[in-house]
Every structure is written in structure tokens, then in C-alpha cells.
Amino acid sequence: MYELLKSILVEDLQLTEADVRPDVDREGAGLDSLALVELSMILSKKFAIEISDDEMLEVETVADIARLMEERCPRP
């Protein structure tokens, strides 16, 4: 799930690939509140992963976002 998140952050949100690491906090990766809202919309529309904006604002690291994605990913 981390690799999917990383590709979205780099390709869709235009973040710097070197800054997107599991241990980096949101701000260190370049994820401000607007970027988190955009990420939430991308996950919902492209992957049917529902994470609220408030939940996104509560996570601390990139790994936390990936973990939340894994928990919310629809199962076949």
C-alpha cells in the first residue's frame, strides 16, 4: 500500500519523491491540509478508499496514511 501511496503523492500531487518516505511526517513530505484533502478525494474516486479529511489531518507520518489506506481498502 505504501508504494501506491508514494506513486499518488509523487505523480498526482507532485511531491518530491525523495521527501516521500514512511518515517517522514506530513509536513516533511509536503502534505499541507489542502494536499491531504486532495489525497482523500483521489483515494475515494480512483480506489474507493474512504478516508475523511479529519482522519487525514490526524495522521502523523506517511506510513500512518498507508496503514489507514490498508485498513480502508475494499476487499473483493
Helices (H) and strands (E) counted in the chain, each on its own, are 5, 0
One of 25, 32, 53, 54 is an active-site residue; which one? Answer: 32
Determine whether 32 is an active site residue.
yes
- C-alpha radius of gyration, the chain, whole number: 11
Q: Which residues are catalytic?
A: 32
